[in-house]
Chains A and B, each alone.
Chain A
Amino acid sequence: MADRLRTAALVHEVLLDRWPGRFGAAAPDDATSLGETGLGLDSIDVVEYLLACEERFAGPTTDALLAAGPISFGHLVDHFCAA
């Protein structure tokens, strides 16, 4: 659980670093979509966020996550937590 919290904090940190001032200091909840209905990222922003997370965690690739469809903040945290 501690690992997941740490991973969530890092995933959130990447978001804040990528778009300074655009999002509040509180981390989104797990169910929040990264997309237009949640965080409000467009398709290009979503991919840039995923790439930034891959770089921050030095992998793994998020291709399968993206292919599976809508991605929430929790999906992203779980993806890198499981790596």
Chain B
Amino acid sequence: MSARGLRRTLQRAAGRHPDLAVGAATAVGWATRPLRRGVGTDALRRFLPELPPAELRRLRGATWSTWLRLRAMEAALASPTASWPYPALALPDLTALRPPLVLAGFHLGPMPAVAGLLEQLPGEVLVLQFSGAPRPRLTMLPVGTDQWQRAGAFRRAIGTLRTAGFVFVLVDANEVPSTLPATAFGRDVRLARGAFALARVTGAPVVPIAAYWQDGRAVVVTGDPIAPDDEHRMAAATAAWLERFIRDHPEVIGPRFVNAFWGDER
């Protein structure tokens, strides 16, 4: 069976048995490592140039496994019959997440696991998104590509924060027109401005959030709250947290993140 066929089979099974699908994806990822799939070593070297070639190749295989498990999770989330489509999750202390908060996410690792956390937060949780399946506890608001749609989404997010809610927004989205410069991995990068503008306007802190795999569980982690401040300083603090997270868990790098972070430079 081809890699594509395997992936489709996993996706079909995922809606009913998310844990099994993720486990199968892990096994398939391991078995197909010799195919040299996953994020290319050239792209990985841009993040971690100090790694020797053998370690880069091992990391490439790990990103392939992460990618397959991500697809299994996405298939489970897209299933209309799955009331709780998440595999085993390890979540941080939710009582530490007091609204209003801007939760700043990234296209990294098992990112749907973050939705598993969001669904358990008290109060309104607004998810500004470009795509994705709806979830019952979350208000999914398409950002849109038109300036006025984006403005409407931003206005709505301000309202959520002003009524003590949570807003989740991706910050490694280079397709947005309004970005802020920051530094990560010794390079100039740009982060989407929305999260930081929301924090400045509403006075809500920014909390970086991401997830990685550990022993078959998706572990969701959050950074310390970044106090509302100058947008550039908040972006710099977020980029620094992101770099630390990736250095700790480099297998979370996937093609979407590479594209979102470095643009066309792969």
Across-interface contacts of B197 in A (CB, < 8 A) = 44, 48
| Distance in angstroms between the alpha carbons of A71 and B151 in the assembled complex | 11
Q: In the bound complex, do residue B155 and residue A63 qualify as a contact, i.e. CB atoms below 8 Å apart?
A: yes
Q: In the bound complex, do residue A36 and residue B147 qualify as a contact, i.e. CB atoms below 8 Å apart?
A: yes
User: Is B158 among interface residues, defined by CB-CB distance under 8 A?
Assistant: yes
Q: Known pairs A43-B148, A66-B148. 19 more at Cβ < 8 A? A: A35-B147, A36-B177, A43-B147, A43-B150, A43-B154, A43-B178, A44-B151, A44-B154, A44-B197, A46-B147, A47-B151, A47-B154, A47-B158, A50-B155, A51-B158, A66-B151, A66-B152, A67-B152, A71-B148
Listed A/B pairs (7) with beta-carbon separation below 8 Å: A35-B147, A43-B147, A43-B150, A43-B154, A44-B178, A47-B154, A66-B152
Interface residues on A, range: 10 to 19
| Distance in angstroms between the alpha carbons of A43 and B178 in the assembled complex | 8
1/0 per residue B139-152: CB within 8 Å of A?
Answer: 00000000110111
The 5 closest A-B pairs by CB, nearest first: A43-B150, A43-B151, A44-B197, A42-B178, A46-B151
User: Is B6 among interface residues, defined by CB-CB distance under 8 A?
Assistant: no
User: Is A20 among interface residues, defined by CB-CB distance under 8 A?
Assistant: no
Nearest chain A residue, comparing its CB with the CB of B177: A42
| Distance in angstroms between the alpha carbons of A67 and B152 in the assembled complex | 6
B206 to chain A, nearest CB (A): 15
1/0 per residue A52-72: CB within 8 Å of B?
Answer: 000000000001001101110
On A, residues with C-beta under 8 Å from B are 35-36, 42-44, 46-48, 50-51, 63, 66-67, 69-71
Nearest chain B residue, comparing its CB with the CB of A44: B197
How many B residues, CB 8 Å from partner?
Answer: 14
| Distance in angstroms between the alpha carbons of A44 and B143 in the assembled complex | 12
Q: In the bound complex, do residue A66 and residue B155 qualify as a contact, i.e. CB atoms below 8 Å apart?
A: yes
User: Is B208 among interface residues, defined by CB-CB distance under 8 A?
Assistant: no
| Distance in angstroms between the alpha carbons of A51 and B156 in the assembled complex | 12
On B, residues with C-beta under 8 Å from A are 147-148, 150-152, 154-155, 158, 177-178, 193-194, 197, 201
Q: In the bound complex, do residue A48 and residue B147 qualify as a contact, i.e. CB atoms below 8 Å apart?
A: no
Across-interface contacts of B177 in A (CB, < 8 A) = 36, 42-43
Given known A42-B178, A47-B155, contact A35–B148 (CB-CB < 8 A): yes
Q: Which of B148, B151, B178, B193 has the most CB of A within 10 A?
A: B151
| Distance in angstroms between the alpha carbons of A39 and B42 in the assembled complex | 42
| Distance in angstroms between the alpha carbons of A67 and B110 in the assembled complex | 34
B79 to chain A, nearest CB (A): 33
Q: Which of A44, A50, A51, A67 has the most CB of B within 10 A?
A: A44
| Distance in angstroms between the alpha carbons of A71 and B178 in the assembled complex | 19
Across-interface contacts of A67 in B (CB, < 8 A) = 152
A78 to chain B, nearest CB (A): 17
B152 to chain A, nearest CB (A): 5
| Distance in angstroms between the alpha carbons of A18 and B154 in the assembled complex | 18
Nearest chain B residue, comparing its CB with the CB of A36: B147
Across-interface contacts of B178 in A (CB, < 8 A) = 42-44
Across-interface contacts of B201 in A (CB, < 8 A) = 48, 51
Across-interface contacts of B151 in A (CB, < 8 A) = 43-44, 46-47, 66
